[in-house]
Structure 1
Amino acid sequence: MALYVLHTLSAIQDGETINATARVNAQDYIGQLMKYETIITAQIFLRIFQVTSPVSKYLQTSGMDILTAHQMVAAAEAELKDMTRDFQSVKTAADKFVQ
């Protein structure tokens, strides 16, 4: 997904028929997106959403079982706590994206 955004911004930046303001803005957006801190932050949010999205979807169902919901929330909480001790995998994923 991020590659599509970067590809599109690059096409805008290089497009000779695009007005100058849009081209400069595209160049600035590319610069911001390619900062290492932005990539690290995106990797962290990606991991958080991988854990919380299934719980969120289940909590929005009409036939939700309260016991199952409680178990899912507790499991998500434990997984998020474990994640706080595993920054190395976030850094590895960010480094791989940069390459």
Structure 2
Amino acid sequence: MTLPTGAFTFSHYGNIRSSSPLGEDIGVEDGPMHRKRSAKDIEQMAERETAAFLKRASITYLECCVSLMMTHLELEEVATILEKEADMLRRLD
């Protein structure tokens, strides 16, 4: 069987370089990583990334909740409820 022109075979994948989600070269083809990080640095990075993920997830969840409210309530009702919630949050401080 003949492959069409431009088709990929497994041998083409040998030159693919991998990188981490943070954009750093992890050196899959070149052996060990170029820069080693201490356990403390890795823990701090993990904490920052976890906090950023939770913030994004929380905002997305809040947007979904507001959207759901708007499908079942009048716009003014939603605004009034959210204003009351915001006031309550400010008093928690």
Larger relative helix fraction: 1
Higher relative contact order (CA 8 A, sep 6+): 1
TM-score range, shorter-chain basis?
0.3 to 0.5
Structure 2 length normalisation: TM-score? Answer: 0.34
Which structure has the larger Rg over C-alpha atoms? 2
